């Protein structure tokens, strides 16, 4: 009997709207995740009190845990605390650090995890990956995909605008990551997962051309859904391939060599634009450049404070951040001199767009 279809693990419940945090008790009950609200709620030090005030009326039996730092140590400490209670699920509420800490801690005991995103900084909201710092280095740890994914637009609206806008860069970097995947198929015969590619592509194409900005609910909803689809794409193929190519190698290299230069999404967007230039795809370059400019996101190394020498080092180092991932950077294998030349051309082209 041939296998006629595949089973895909996805969250049971996805909800993007205003007022979601206040309705969390109902969302957990309706989603068959916790009928009585016996859950561990994990919050960051910043948002903690506000979130707890909103939650309490609908989640009277919840136990609150405060975590900070986004480190592997913090996740292990949280995981040890979770062991002492009996919880239906772990609910991580906050930005990437808090959600990823909760994801990792829940995954360790096989507890269902609900991701409640209060910002749209990157595609970690629904992904089966926790990005945590260990010994000063950011690592990606495989975890179970969240059972529920909730985005509360009230929090997104009141959060730091740049943090949320950065998610746009992370989403549109999928276009470059998918081009890298296709290149790896052509050059090395690497299989491309069509379903994963489609999930990663659709949201990116929507965000790339959709009018509106972070003050527009329709745009913010599409951005949130695109970030969720990116996470699902990674879950479907069991790797970050659909959402991470040369763009993310550049981002990881900058993070390693020049920490705290800019956020994940800002650097992924800029890296994607540079990789698209290297591919010589003029139509895509113009589309992506327009999108990043429209949302005031960085497009060139100098926009994030890196000079030519530093960027040449970044491109040298980039392939080492994801060994065996074939992208336009490995394909061209440019010498430092060639990179310097390409960067000069790139800066001229971007300035003329
Ligand atoms: Zn990313």
Return the SS3 of 30. Answer: helix
* Residue 106: predicted pLDDT: 96
Whole-number Å distance between alpha carbons of 255 and 248: 10
The tokens describing 314, both together, are 């970044």
Residue 81 sits in the same domain as residue 211 = no
The structure tokens 């041939």 sit at 2
Q: What's 17's domain CATH number?
A: 3.40.50.1970
Ligand-binding annotation for 144, yes or no, is no
Ligand-binding annotation for 263, yes or no, is no
Residue 128 sits in the same domain as residue 169 = no
Say how many Å lie between the CA of residue 123 and the centre of ligand 1: 6
* Residue 291: predicted pLDDT: 98
Q: Which domain holds residue 258?
A: 161-352
Sign of CA dihedral 75, 244, 156, 259: positive
What stretches in the chain show pLDDT beneath 70? 1
Residue 125 sits in the same domain as residue 207 = no
Residue 118 sits in the same domain as residue 264 = no
* Residue 271: predicted pLDDT: 98
- Domain for residue 3, yes or no? no
The structure tokens 């429209």 sit at 294
Residue 74 sits in the same domain as residue 120 = yes
Q: Sheet with 113-117: list strands edge to edge.
A: 13-17, 148-152, 113-117, 89-94, 39-43, 63-66
Report the DSSP pairing between strands 113-117 and 148-152: parallel
Q: What's 242's domain CATH number?
A: 1.20.1090.10
- pLDDT, one tens digit per residue, over 36-52 is 899 999 998 877 778 88
Residue 204 sits in the same domain as residue 287 = yes
Does the pTM surpass 0.85? The reply is yes
Q: Label residues 25-48 b or e (16+ Cβ within 10 Å = b).
A: bebbeebebbeebbbbbbbbeebb
Greatest extent of the chain over all pairs of C-alpha atoms, in Å: 63
Residue 107 sits in the same domain as residue 55 = yes
- pLDDT, one tens digit per residue, over 24-40 is 999 899 888 899 899 99
- Domain for residue 7, yes or no? no
Whole-number Å distance between alpha carbons of 254 and 349: 22
* Residue 269: predicted pLDDT: 98
- pLDDT, one tens digit per residue, over 123-171 is 889 989 898 998 877 888 999 999 999 999 998 988 888 888 999 999 9
Ligand-binding annotation for 99, yes or no, is yes
Residue 90 sits in the same domain as residue 169 = no
Say how many Å lie between the CA of residue 288 and the centre of ligand 1: 16
* Nearest CA-CA partner of 268 in 98, 72, 68, 124: 124
Ligand-binding annotation for 96, yes or no, is yes
Residue 208 sits in the same domain as residue 330 = yes
The structure tokens 């800490």 sit at 101
- Domain for residue 296, yes or no? yes
Q: Examine the fold and report which residue of 158, 181, 200 is the final residue of a domain before the chain moves on.
A: 158
- Exposed/middle/buried for 188, CB within 10 Å: 0-12, 13-18, 19+? exposed
- Domain for residue 270, yes or no? yes
Whole-number Å distance between alpha carbons of 228 and 234: 10
Say how many Å lie between the CA of residue 230 and the centre of ligand 1: 9
3-state secondary structure 63-74: EEEECCCCEHHH
- Domain for residue 314, yes or no? yes
Ligand-binding annotation for 10, yes or no, is no
Specify the number of domains making up the chain. Answer: 2
Report the DSSP pairing between strands 137-142 and 148-152: unpaired
Whole-number Å distance between alpha carbons of 274 and 9: 34
Ligand-binding annotation for 100, yes or no, is yes
* Residue 111: predicted pLDDT: 94
Quickly count: other Cβ atoms within 10 Å of residue 56's Cβ.
14
Residue 315 sits in the same domain as residue 169 = yes
Ligand-binding annotation for 7, yes or no, is no
Q: Which residues contact 301 (CB under 8 A, 6 or more apart)?
A: 270, 307, 308, 310, 311, 314, 343
Residue 173 sits in the same domain as residue 108 = no
- Domain for residue 318, yes or no? yes
* Residue 1: predicted pLDDT: 65
- Domain for residue 2, yes or no? no
- Domain for residue 178, yes or no? yes
Whole-number Å distance between alpha carbons of 19 and 226: 20
Say how many Å lie between the CA of residue 264 and the centre of ligand 1: 6
């Amino acid at each position: 009997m041939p296998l006629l279809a595949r089973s895909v693990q996805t969250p049971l419940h996805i909800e993007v709207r205003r007022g979601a945090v206040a309705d969390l008790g109902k969302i957990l009950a309706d989603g068959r995740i916790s009928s009585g609200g016996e859950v561990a709620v994990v919050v960051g030090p910043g948002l903690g009190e506000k979130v707890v005030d909103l939650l309490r009326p609908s989640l009277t039996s919840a136990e609150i845990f405060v975590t900070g730092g986004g480190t592997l140590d913090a996740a292990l400490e949280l995981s040890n605390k979770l062991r002492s209670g009996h919880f239906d699920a772990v609910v991580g509420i906050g930005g990437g650090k808090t959600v990823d800490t909760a994801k990792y801690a829940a995954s360790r005991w096989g507890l269902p995890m609900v991701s409640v995103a209060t910002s749209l900084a990157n595609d970690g909201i629904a992904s089966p990956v926790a990005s945590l710092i260990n010994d000063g280095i950011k690592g990606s740890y495989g975890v179970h995909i969240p059972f529920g994914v909730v985005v509360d637009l009230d929090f997104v609206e009141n959060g730091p605008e740049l943090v949320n806008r950065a998610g746009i860069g992370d989403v549109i970097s999928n276009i470059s990551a998918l081009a890298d995947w296709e290149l790896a198929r052509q050059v090395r015969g690497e299989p491309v997962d069509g379903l994963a590619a489609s999930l990663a592509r659709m949201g990116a194409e929507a965000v790339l051309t959709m009018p509106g900005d972070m003050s527009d609910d329709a745009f913010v909803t599409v951005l949130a859904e695109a970030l969720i689809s990116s996470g699902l794409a990674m879950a479907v193929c069991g790797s970050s391939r659909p959402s991470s190519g040369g763009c993310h190698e550049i981002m990881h290299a900058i993070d390693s060599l020049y920490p705290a230069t800019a956020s994940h999404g800002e650097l992924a967007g800029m890296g994607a634009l540079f990789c698209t230039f290297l591919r010589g795809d003029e139509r895509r370059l113009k589309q992506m450049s327009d999108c990043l400019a429209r949302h005031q996101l960085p497009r060139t190394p100098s926009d994030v404070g890196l000079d030519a020498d530093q960027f040449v080092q970044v491109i040298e180092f980039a392939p080492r951040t994801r060994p065996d991932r074939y992208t336009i950077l490995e394909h061209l294998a440019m010498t430092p001199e060639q990179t310097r030349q390409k960067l000069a051309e790139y800066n001229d082209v971007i300035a003329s767009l």
